[in-house]
A and B are shown apart, each in its own frame.
Chain A
Amino acid sequence: EPEVTQTPSHQVTQMGQEVILRCVPISNHLYFYWYRQILGQKVEFLVSFYNNEISEKSEIFDDQFSVERPDGSNFTLKIRSTKLEDSAMYFCASSASGSGRETQYFGPGTRLLVL
Chain B
Amino acid sequence: GQQLNQSPQSMFIQEGEDVSMNCTSSSIFNTWLWYKQDPGEGPVLLIALYKAGELTSNGRLTAQFGITRKDSFLNISASIPSDVGIYFCAGLISLTGNQFYFGTGTSLTVIP
Contacts and interface: CB of A to CB of B under 8 A. Distances in A.
Contact of B88 (A43, A56, A95): A43
Interface in A21-71: 31, 33, 41-45, 48, 55-56, 58-59
Interface stretch (B13-21, B36-44, B64-72): B36-44
B97 A108 contact: no
Contacts, number: 68
B11 interface: no
Contacts of A4: 42
Contacts of B41: 108-109
Interface string B38-58: 001111110010100000000
A43 B101 CA distance: 8
Interface in B63-108: 88, 90, 92, 94-95, 97-105
Most buried by A among B42, B88, B95: B42
B48 A31 contact: no
Interface size class of A (residues with CB under 8 A): 20 to 34
A25 to B, nearest CB: 13
B99 A104 contact: no
A36 B40 CA distance: 13
A72 interface: no
A107 B104 CA distance: 20
B1 interface: yes
A15 B94 CA distance: 36
Interface of B: 1, 4, 30-31, 37, 40-45, 48, 50, 88, 90, 92, 94-95, 97-105
